[in-house]
Amino acid sequence: MRVVFGDGTLAQLPVEAERLEMTRILVLSTPEQRDQAGDILAHLGKRAIGSFDRATMHTPVEITEQALAVVRDKVVDGILSVGGGSTIGLGKAIALRTDLPQIAVPTTYAGSEMTPIIGETKDGEKLTQRTRKVLPETTVYDVSLTLSLPPAISATSGMNAIAHAVEALYAEERNPIISLMAEAAIRALADALPMIVAKPDDRDARHQALYGAWLCGIALGSVGMALHHKLCHVLGGSFNLPHAPTHTVVLPHAVAYNAKGAPDAMRRIASALGAEDAAQGLYDLAQRLGAPLSLAGIGMREADIEQAVAQAAARPYPNPRPIEAAALRRLLQNAYSGQRPA
């Protein structure tokens, strides 16, 4: 995979498109990012044949089918996704079915552009698979595109990225290089996010956060994830909770759950956060960012906790501490009410 990273890198898109021999590019975005898609079309000139601006969270198959109809009609030979995980997910879903080359231009910190993972929803169920077919051929990180990411979304998206690095540090398949990257990523994001929330157009802080997010995406794509990602998968997939805010709320609690099972990871996470304790440090960071702290506050119903426990315990991801239903219930109850992790 090829990566271009910097400020103002959009100017390099025509060269990158040429490198992939793309001559009829479809630009993907959400409706909210239509203007950014317009800028990209302008940069691509004659190589772009149009845009599709209906990307949606959790990659519903119906939307993918609508986009595929445009791909066929316009004889598209390359995909360019400008946006967060939702838009990049749509690009991946098209690549999965067509093998078309993709350029990803990420504008959040979710990290999907670095992973061979795709999750799609059909009939209310989210199915995830890993296949190299969906990995974008080229990613162009342009700091300038992240300046417009609202502070609240920057905060939760940044915590979503940190969650990838945190779980990489205690993943069953962890390795020293990915651990090094994960620790550096947590340090970069923990430092940058408060500055971004205070001053969203701080270019240096945006640069540092995007660098951290890149590292987090590599971590997510390289080693398996554990309890935290399983819980967020269940909460997002079955109860339709918003992706990044769910990660933000659950992370300190999942880390507290795993504290005794992964002492070395905890030491590294705490050190990167500049905190005494990993779980408390993550909770403090979310609080400092003004991010949501409770599942109740982001739309979960208390009555659904039992079903979430059952689903998370049924087919668990490998985890440093065994999955025990009673302890999971306590974890979710704490996350639901927004208490400090225990």
Indicate which single residue of 243, 248, 268, 291 sits in contact with ligand NAD (rule: CB under 6 A). Answer: 243
How far is C-alpha 242 from the geometric centre of its chain's CA atoms? 12
Q: How far apart are CA 83 and CA 30, in angstroms?
A: 7
Alpha helical stretches, state H, the chain: 13-19, 34-44, 61-73, 85-98, 143-146, 151-170, 176-198, 203-222, 227-239, 243-258, 263-273, 278-288, 305-314, 325-337
53: amino acid identity, one letter: D
CB of 304 to ligand NAD, least distance (A): 19
Do the beta carbons of residue 87 and residue 33 sit within 8 Å? Answer: yes
Number of residues that bind ligand NAD (CB under 6 A): 31
Q: Minimum distance between the CB of residue 267 and ligand NAD, rounded to whole angstroms?
A: 26
140/270 with CB nearer ligand NAD: 140
As given in the structure block, the two tokens for residue 69 are: 């109809």
Ranges within 302-331 binding ligand NAD (CB under 6 A): none
x/- letters, 252..281, toward ligand NAD (CB under 6 A): ------------------------------
Q: Assess 89 for contact with ligand NAD (CB under 6 A).
A: yes
List the one residue from 9, 81, 102, 107 that touches ligand NAD (CB under 6 A): 107
Which one, 40 or 270, has the nearer CB to ligand NAD?
40
Does 244 interact with ligand NAD (rule: CB under 6 A)?
Answer: yes
Look up residue 143 and give its amino acid: V
- In DSSP terms, which residues pair with 105 in a beta bridge? 82
227 binds ligand NAD (CB under 6 A): no
Q: 161 near 111, Cβ under 8 Å?
A: yes
Should residue 245 be labelled a site residue for ligand NAD when binding is judged by CB under 6 A?
A: no
Binding status of residue 148 toward ligand NAD by CB under 6 A:
yes
- Residue among 152 and 184 whose Cβ is closer to ligand NAD: 152
* Beta carbons of 192 and 212 less than 8 angstroms apart: yes
Kindly indicate which of the ranges 3-11, 145-153, 168-176, 305-313 contains the residues binding ligand NAD, using the contact rule CB under 6 A. Answer: 145-153
CB under 8 Å to 160, separation ≥6 — which residues? 109, 110, 111, 243, 244, 247, 248
Give me the torsion for CA of 107, 111, 112, 113, rounded to 10°.
70
| Piece of 1-9, 152-160, 271-279, 331-339 that binds ligand NAD (CB under 6 A) | 152-160
Binding footprint of ligand NAD on the chain (CB under 6 A): 30, 32-33, 57-59, 83-87, 89, 107-108, 110-112, 115, 117-119, 145-146, 148-149, 153, 157, 160, 220, 243-244
